[in-house]
Structure formats: structure tokens, C-alpha cells
Chains A and B, each alone.
Chain A
Amino acid sequence: MIDRREFVRALGLGGVATLLAPRLAAQGETPPEQGPTGQATIEGAASLTPMNQDAAKTVRRPAKPGAAASMSADERDDLEHQIRCQCGCTLDIYTCRTTDFACQVSPAMHRDVMSLVEGGYSAQEILDAFVETYGERALMAPKKEGFNLAGYLVPFAALAAGAVVLVTALRRMQLRTATVAAARPDPAAPVEMPGTATERAQLDAAIRKDA
């Protein structure tokens, strides 16, 4: 049962939370959309975000001397899967441009990719060119370098740390059990179980052949 002091303490935690939370949330919070009269017009509907059709910038480089297409159409499509359309749809260029003509950004970015491919640039050079123009947001996944490595490695490191903790705990438990078992060798007597529980035990025994 909770006592009064505990209750007040728990309430205090809630108070601290009230002070901290708005600061945490304020970073990302955006006001509701404003209509022409300054009145809030759009509820937060579960719909796709509005597109920014002016987001395309030019990513062009002079063709390399004696340039020929640096990759096949399939390889180019694969490359376009790695570059993000900047219209706000969160899709890659290939998917966006082949899904909807309404977007003018992904076709423009596609033309830039085509031009760089024709200019003899490699996949990595093309990705670098897009990053130079749009920043790292141009990539569908961060490059595996610098701080980004934390993104890729932390989940595995956490899992490894969890595995170490788990195995250590299990070993300790195993040791304790062995000690207790040595001191008390007699197992509990079998208990008759009612209804289907008995049947389950029989089935278990029959399946496992442990009986």
C-alpha cells in the first residue's frame, strides 16, 4: 500500500515533468496552419505533407573527357533509390517520379542524375554531388562515417551489451541453483492436476518421451 509521503513524492515527479516537457517538445512543435485571414484552417489530418515544388536545385557537372554513360539503366535506378526527393514526400527519387507526376522535384533530380551518368560520373561521385548541393539530407540513409557510425553501430553494441549482462546474470543464477540443489536433493512430489492440465502433462511427457 502506498503511504502519504510516497504519494507526494510521486506527485512531485509529475510536477518536474510538467516543467521539463514543454522545453523538450517545443523544439519540434509547429503551430497549426494559418489561413488567409489568420485563422487556423487546417486540422492535423492524417494525410501526406504538402509538397514543396520549388525544392529542386541544379546538380550538374561538366562531362568528363570522352565520357560515356557510367552505368546501365538498372544501376541508375538503384542509385536513384539512394537519393531522396526533396519535395517533402520522404520517398526516393525513383519511387517518387514513377508514382506521381504531380511532383516536379523528383523529375528534375532525375534529369540531374541522367546528366551526371551521361557525363561519366560514378555512383559515388553522383551521390557526393547531390550531398554537396542539398546537404546530407539528399541521401536516404546517412553515410557510414564519423558520427553517423553511431547510428549504425549503437543498436548492435546495445544488443551485445545486453547479451553480456544476460549471460552473466544467467551464469550467476545457474551457479546459485546448483548450490541450492546440492544442499536439497529431493524434488517436490508430483501434484495431481485437474482436467486438461493433467492431459497436457501427459501429452508433454508423450511428446518429449521424458517420463
Chain B
Amino acid sequence: MILVGELSLWVALLMAAWSAVTSFAGGQMGREDLVASGRRGLYATAAMILLASIGLWTALLTHDFSLKYVASNTSANMPKIYVFAAFWGGQAGSMLFWTLILALYSALAIWGVREKGRELASWACGTLALILLFFIATTCFKANPFDRLSFVPADGRGMNPQLQNPGMAVHPPTLYLGYVATAIPFAFAIAALISRKLDAEWLSIVRRWSLISWFFLTIGITLGMWWAYVELGWSGYWAWDPVENASFLPWLTGTAFLHSIMIQEKRGMLRKWNVVLVVTTFLLAIFGTFLTRSGLVESVHTFAQSPVGSWFATFFIGSTGATIYFVYTRLKDLEAKAELESMVSREAAFLYNNLVLVGIAFSVLWGTLFPVISEWVRGTKITVGPPFFNTVNVPLGLLLLALTGIGPLIAWRKASTSNLRRQFVAPVMIGCITGLTLAVLGMRNFHALVAYTLCGFVSGTILQEFYKGIRARHDMHDESIPRATIRLIARNRRRYGGYIVHAGIVILFSAFAGLAFKKDHDVQLKGGESKELVDPLGHRWRFVSQGTSTSETLNRFVTSVGLEVWRDGVPQGIVSSEKRQHFDSNKQPQFEPSTEVGIRTSSALDLYVVLAGVRDETAELRISFNPLVVWVWIGGLVMAIGGLIVMWPQAERRRAGGYVATLEPAPSRAVLASVR
């Protein structure tokens, strides 16, 4: 099976090349037979990549250490789940995994193209086959997971212990599912540009796949934060590492696109801008991969030690050049079909939102690249860490949060003064009351106060929109409140799903602002000793050490400490933290020791205990109180649920075969009365 997998990879290379050539030729010459052949070539490529992947999984699970990849990333004593997940744990495997998802996505996207989109399909198929060709070629020639060693080691190196976490099984796949999905909108945008078929059909496909990408990126990024928090032991979830930034960049431009596409659907505006956002999202995914796998910027991830950088640079420059050319030569076809009527309108608010989202993307990219730029210009190496990113991005984030609340309150086309007054009064009052209450209660951190005031305002917006919608349904259809709520969401999925996403954003910002009140303490405790600490909310905590212990399990030596915990005199149970030293089959230590954090979560704050080490039977600990962290995960979940609601196809769209909303004048009172 391993040999079959290896051969399949090479066959896939040929198939992708065939699919690209025949699809482009078929599209150019208008020959259906070539187009069909290209399409079948793409399906065959996907099948071959699937076989290659099965081959690698077989090698991993049967511990075939003759493969360099298997020997480098697994060992015989590793739990099966991590052996399975080692597929995407290393450079070469992750390249194949990326290719696998791209191949399956491509086949699905082309298979799903309906009659109307046939003209696009050949060019999209060709573009996807070209992208696949790049990834397969990179895998074959620069990062081949089937490369063999000249000898067969008795055991492998194993996997870095920090990757041996359940997060490993889910975080990378979801992130890849989001990252790779950006290729499909890109391919259809290029297809629409080449064929000049820039009508509703390409937009419908692009929107669907952009939502899929956004959905998985949201889940992937949230899971990544969770993994960093529970596994790495530095008591935080986001460090502005280049790899994190690389995943954040396409999320930002993708989010901007999902807002501005509404203006194109309803008003036929922003056609150029939307194409730019779609292609930029994909190009940022490629550029981010180049950044983190070329070693150009410093990252904690050793993906930086990788030979694929120049290939990604070539692909990025080639794709960017070709994209600029196609956009530039099609500018006339992308003229807007309508004009903006007022600068105080929903359309304008979306544009301001786009400006801030793209501005944040730029600032993240700029900060990530600034060490390189500084070295080029001054010859001096500098560090651009969290303090820099927080200084630059916190104001931009707060501006974005404000726009999250403002946008939905403004009417399409043109908002009248009375409309604005009516819409803004309640949310602004809720925001002000929130801010004032917190100030009176003693909150003095400026950024946190602004954040919570804005969170109050945006929450007010969302509540008001739901209240008005539910009340309207209740009045119009005489529905009970729960039924009206469910039907309101079910029949207006895009709008109310979007509001649920906004609710997730509010929850996230509230949690981020909570970190301003985080408290860390260095504590040294021998067995039986105790320590009292006060958390940011004024609760008194008492910790009594149960002493340290050592044990040996599966593939590691474990040193652990248990702390008996009381809060305001009430027992909270025992929190333990571990130091793990992994070993190979010969009991030889591998990797640096890793930390297992002890976490006690509540809705108000997390108690976070890290055993830094043991010296003379004294446990050296860091005890942190991290406010509101659980709301980061809840916020991510709420956003994902909102995204799922938005993605879910509306019945009328399924019937109509592609739905594009248009902004019609509101029906008259007579029409309303007749429906009642």
C-alpha cells in the first residue's frame, strides 16, 4: 500500500498537468470533449492523492521507519491517535495533507457546478489543476513524505510532546480546511475574469466557498488558541507569532469580502473591490505559507527550517502577477452597476468596515514583516512581539468593534436623521450605561473601559434587531415568542446568522479586554506549605501543596505537584500540574521537558497553575488568574454557529438554483395588509 501511495503521488502529478492543459485548451477552443477530459483528470488527481494519503497513513500506523518522515515524526511507543495525526505534524506530511484537501475540495467544487456555471467550470478547473500541480510538485520534489532512509532505524524520533495533545487531532485539519478553501473562490474569480462572465453565477459559488473557508478558519484559529493555552503553559492564547498571523490574515480579508459581497448582491456595486478581496485572500494564504516555511521571519514553529520557501515564493509571485494582469485587463467588465446614494448608508458602513478589516490585515502583515524590513534598511535585527502588535491593533480592533454595532443600524441606500435617531438611541444608552457602571465600580483601564462600552453598544444593536424582528413576526403571524425567534432566524439566515456572529465577536472582545486584569504570581511551595493570593475580583485563594511525586507512564516520566485549593474559605478541590520528560523505546530522553498545566475554569476567571520545575523538593510554580478566558472559546463557538446558520442553504435558493438578493423598494401597506 505504501508503494502504491508513493506511485499514486507521481501519477497525480501527471494527472494534474493533464487536467490543467486540457481544461484551459477546452475552454479556449470551446471543445466540450477536452473540458470533460480535464474535469475527469481533476477527479483522477483527487483519487490519486487520496491513495497517496492512505499510503502515508499506512506507513505511519505500521511504523515503517524506513520512511524518513515516519522515523522523524513518530515512534513505536506513541499513542495511535498521535501516530495518525502525525500525517500533518511535519513538513512533508502537511504538504500532502494540504494537497489532499485541495484535491477533494476541487473535485467537489467542479462537480457541484450547475448548468449555468458550465462556462466558468473549464477555466476554474484549469486554475485549480494548476494550483494542485504546484502543490503536488512541491510535495514530490521538495517535501516528499515517501523519501526513504539509507538504513532502517529501530525506532523513530517521536513527536514533539507539545504536539501530543488532542488539539493536534483537530486544530491543524480545521485550519487547513479553511486555509485551502480560499483556493476555490480564487479559481472561480480567475475563471470569471478570463471568461469575462462576471455575473451572478460566479458570485454565488465564490460566496458559498468563502463562507466555508471563513467557517473553518474561525474554528481552526479558536482551536489553535485553546491548544496554545492548555498546552504551552505561558498562560496566554495568542502571541502574534508569524504562524498565527498567517492564519489570521486570510480570515480578515475573507471577513471583509463576506460583508462587501452583500453590497454587490444587493446593489451591483464594489465589483472590482470584491474580486480584489477574493484573490487577495488566497494570495495571503500562499504568502503566509511562504513566510512561515521559508525562514524569512522568525517563528517558534520549526516549519521555518524548510526547503519549500523558494517554490512558494515563485508560486506567489507568479499567481500575483497573473492575477494583477487579469484584473487590470478586465476593469471595464467590473464597472459598478449602481452608485452609492449617501455616505450615511449601510453600503458606506460596510465600506468603512472593509477599510478597517483590511487596515488590520495590513498592520498584522506589516508587523510580521517589519523585522525583515528593519534588517534590510538598518542592518539591525529587532523583535516585533506582542507589545508592538497590541499597541497598533488594539485601537483598530476597537474601531472595528464600533463599526460592528453601527453597520446594522443604518438603513440601505440612505439613512434619514429620524431613522438614525430611532435606531441608535437604545444601543448607545446600553453602551454608556455599561461603561459608566464599570467606571463607578472602579475599572480604570482605559482600553478595557472603551472595549466594554462598545461591547454594550454592539450587544444593544443585536438585541434591538432581534427584539424588533421577533415582535414584527409576533404581530404579523401571531406566533409565540420562541416560535417567532426560531422562524426569524430560519427565514432570514444570512441576516440573523450574521448577528449571531456579531454576538460571538462581542463575547470575544469582552474576553480579550478581561486580560487587562490578569495577575501572575511566582510561588515556591514545599509539601504541606501554603500560600494565600488575591485574584483580580478580590477573592482570597489559599493553596496548600500536597508535595511533588514522580511516576512513569507509556512514553514519559512525570513529575507532578498537587495543590489543595480554597476560595474565600470554600474548598475547590485539587489542581495539579505536571512536568513531562518523554523518552524513546530505549528509555532515552527525547525533546525538552514539557508542561501540563493545571486549569480550574469558571465563568469569571481561570486559575492557571504551571509547574516550572522542582528544586530541593520545592515546587516552583506560576499561579495565574486569567479573567474571562472561557469566553474566548464560547465566543469562537458562537461565531461558528452563526457562520453555520449563514451557510445553511435557504429553501428558496435551493429551488431557484442560485440566489442573488436585490434591494427592492419596500412593499406598500396594501401588500402588507393583504398578507395578514
Q: Are B381 and A13 in contact (CB under 8 A)?
A: no
Q: A17 touches which one: B317, B366, B669 (CB < 8 A)?
A: B317
Q: Are B359 and A45 in contact (CB under 8 A)?
A: no
Considering the chains assembled together, what is the distance between the CA atoms of A49 and B351 in angstroms? 41
Q: Given A140-B383, A159-B356, A166-B351, are A28 and B664 neighbors across the interface (CB < 8 Å)?
A: no
Considering the chains assembled together, what is the distance between the CA atoms of A139 and B384 in angstroms? 8
**B396 at interface (Cβ–Cβ under 8 A)?**
yes
**A65 at interface (Cβ–Cβ under 8 A)?**
no
**B355 at interface (Cβ–Cβ under 8 A)?**
yes
- Interface positions, chain A 177-203, Cβ under 8 Å from B, are 177, 180-181, 187-188, 190-191, 193-203
**A122 at interface (Cβ–Cβ under 8 A)?**
no
Q: Are B28 and A135 in contact (CB under 8 A)?
A: no
Q: Are A43 and B664 in contact (CB under 8 A)?
A: no
- Chain B residues positioned under 8 Å from A32 (CB to CB): 305-307
Q: Are A141 and B472 in contact (CB under 8 A)?
A: no
Tell which of A9, A98, A99, A194 has the most Cβ of chain B within 10 Å. A98
CB-CB nearest in chain A for B672: A202
Considering the chains assembled together, what is the distance between the CA atoms of A87 and B468 in angstroms? 57
Q: Given A139-B383, A142-B383, are A29 and B610 neighbors across the interface (CB < 8 Å)?
A: no
- Shortest B421–chain A CB gap in Å is 13
Bitwise interface map of A from 49 to 79 toward B, beta carbon under 8 Å scored 1, else 0: 1110000000000000000000000000100
Q: Given A28-B294, A48-B162, A84-B385, are A188 and B665 neighbors across the interface (CB < 8 Å)?
A: yes
Considering the chains assembled together, what is the distance between the CA atoms of A95 and B608 in angstroms? 13
**B606 at interface (Cβ–Cβ under 8 A)?**
no
CB-CB nearest in chain B for A201: B667
Q: Are A29 and B307 in contact (CB under 8 A)?
A: yes
Q: Are A170 and B383 in contact (CB under 8 A)?
A: no
Number of chain A interface residues as a range: 35 or more
Q: Are B348 and A170 in contact (CB under 8 A)?
A: yes
Q: Given A21-B317, A28-B297, A43-B92, are A135 and B380 neighbors across the interface (CB < 8 Å)?
A: yes
Q: Are B374 and A48 in contact (CB under 8 A)?
A: no
**B94 at interface (Cβ–Cβ under 8 A)?**
yes
Considering the chains assembled together, what is the distance between the CA atoms of A131 and B295 in angstroms? 24
Q: Are A211 and B668 in contact (CB under 8 A)?
A: yes
Q: Given A44-B293, A44-B303, are A100 and B666 neighbors across the interface (CB < 8 Å)?
A: no
- Chain B residues positioned under 8 Å from A17 (CB to CB): 314-318, 320-321
Bitwise interface map of B from 218 to 261 toward A, beta carbon under 8 Å scored 1, else 0: 00000000000000111110010100000000000000000000
Q: Are A94 and B675 in contact (CB under 8 A)?
A: no
Considering the chains assembled together, what is the distance between the CA atoms of A29 and B292 in angstroms? 10
Q: Are B411 and A30 in contact (CB under 8 A)?
A: no
- Shortest B31–chain A CB gap in Å is 13
Q: B664 touches which one: A50, A155, A190 (CB < 8 A)?
A: A190
- Interface positions, chain B 390-412, Cβ under 8 Å from A, are 391-392, 396, 411
Q: Are A44 and B91 in contact (CB under 8 A)?
A: yes
**A47 at interface (Cβ–Cβ under 8 A)?**
yes
- Interface positions, chain B 108-162, Cβ under 8 Å from A, are 143, 149-150, 157, 159-160, 162
**B650 at interface (Cβ–Cβ under 8 A)?**
yes
Considering the chains assembled together, what is the distance between the CA atoms of A8 and B540 in angstroms? 73
**A112 at interface (Cβ–Cβ under 8 A)?**
no
**B296 at interface (Cβ–Cβ under 8 A)?**
yes
Q: B310 touches which one: A22, A167, A177, A204 (CB < 8 A)?
A: A22
- Chain A residues positioned under 8 Å from B69 (CB to CB): 43
Q: A25 touches which one: B312, B366, B411, B593 (CB < 8 A)?
A: B312
Considering the chains assembled together, what is the distance between the CA atoms of A146 and B96 in angstroms? 45
- Interface positions, chain B 154-181, Cβ under 8 Å from A, are 157, 159-160, 162-163, 172
**B313 at interface (Cβ–Cβ under 8 A)?**
yes
Q: B377 touches which one: A147, A158, A171 (CB < 8 A)?
A: A147
- Interface positions, chain B 328-384, Cβ under 8 Å from A, are 329, 339-343, 348, 351-352, 355-356, 358-359, 362-363, 366-367, 370, 372, 374, 377-378, 380-384
- Chain B residues positioned under 8 Å from A51 (CB to CB): 592
Q: Are B339 and A173 in contact (CB under 8 A)?
A: yes
- Chain B residues positioned under 8 Å from A92 (CB to CB): 385
**B563 at interface (Cβ–Cβ under 8 A)?**
no
- Chain A residues positioned under 8 Å from B668 (CB to CB): 190, 211
Q: Are A177 and B294 in contact (CB under 8 A)?
A: no
- Interface positions, chain A 133-157, Cβ under 8 Å from B, are 135-142, 147-148, 151-152, 154-156
Considering the chains assembled together, what is the distance between the CA atoms of A147 and B373 in angstroms? 10
Q: Given A90-B385, A155-B366, A187-B665, are A45 and B91 neighbors across the interface (CB < 8 Å)?
A: yes
Considering the chains assembled together, what is the distance between the CA atoms of A20 and B320 in angstroms? 13
- Chain B residues positioned under 8 Å from A13 (CB to CB): 318, 321-322, 325
Q: A29 touches which one: B143, B195, B294, B343 (CB < 8 A)?
A: B294
Q: Are B374 and A151 in contact (CB under 8 A)?
A: yes
Considering the chains assembled together, what is the distance between the CA atoms of A10 and B325 in angstroms? 7
Tell which of B89, B159, B305, B356 has the most Cβ of chain A within 10 Å. B305
Q: Are B196 and A21 in contact (CB under 8 A)?
A: no
Considering the chains assembled together, what is the distance between the CA atoms of A202 and B159 in angstroms? 58
Q: Are A151 and B91 in contact (CB under 8 A)?
A: no
CB-CB nearest in chain B for A20: B317
Considering the chains assembled together, what is the distance between the CA atoms of A193 and B671 in angstroms? 12
- Chain B residues positioned under 8 Å from A36 (CB to CB): none
- Chain B residues positioned under 8 Å from A6 (CB to CB): 329
- Chain B residues positioned under 8 Å from A209 (CB to CB): 422
Q: Given A49-B300, A167-B343, A202-B667, are A14 and B321 neighbors across the interface (CB < 8 Å)?
A: yes
- Interface positions, chain A 1-45, Cβ under 8 Å from B, are 1-2, 4, 6-7, 9-10, 13-14, 16-18, 20-22, 24-33, 39-45
- Interface positions, chain B 634-676, Cβ under 8 Å from A, are 650-652, 655, 661, 664-669, 671-672, 675
CB-CB nearest in chain A for B399: A159
**B473 at interface (Cβ–Cβ under 8 A)?**
yes
Q: Given A139-B383, A159-B359, are A200 and B492 neighbors across the interface (CB < 8 Å)?
A: yes
- Shortest A38–chain B CB gap in Å is 11
Q: A90 touches which one: B298, B326, B367, B469 (CB < 8 A)?
A: B298
- Chain A residues positioned under 8 Å from B94 (CB to CB): 46
- Shortest B518–chain A CB gap in Å is 11
**B33 at interface (Cβ–Cβ under 8 A)?**
no
Q: Given A102-B593, A202-B672, are A1 and B196 neighbors across the interface (CB < 8 Å)?
A: yes
**Given A29-B294, A198-B667, 17 extra CB contacts under 8 A:** A2-B28, A4-B28, A27-B296, A28-B296, A47-B163, A48-B302, A81-B387, A90-B298, A101-B612, A142-B374, A142-B384, A147-B378, A154-B366, A174-B342, A201-B664, A201-B666, A202-B667
Closest 6 CB pairs of A and B: A101-B613, A44-B91, A155-B363, A47-B160, A28-B296, A17-B317
A-B CB contact pairs (8 Å), 22 listed: A10-B326, A21-B317, A39-B149, A43-B90, A43-B91, A44-B306, A45-B90, A47-B159, A77-B522, A84-B385, A98-B612, A99-B232, A100-B613, A101-B620, A141-B386, A142-B370, A155-B363, A190-B671, A194-B652, A195-B652, A197-B661, A204-B666
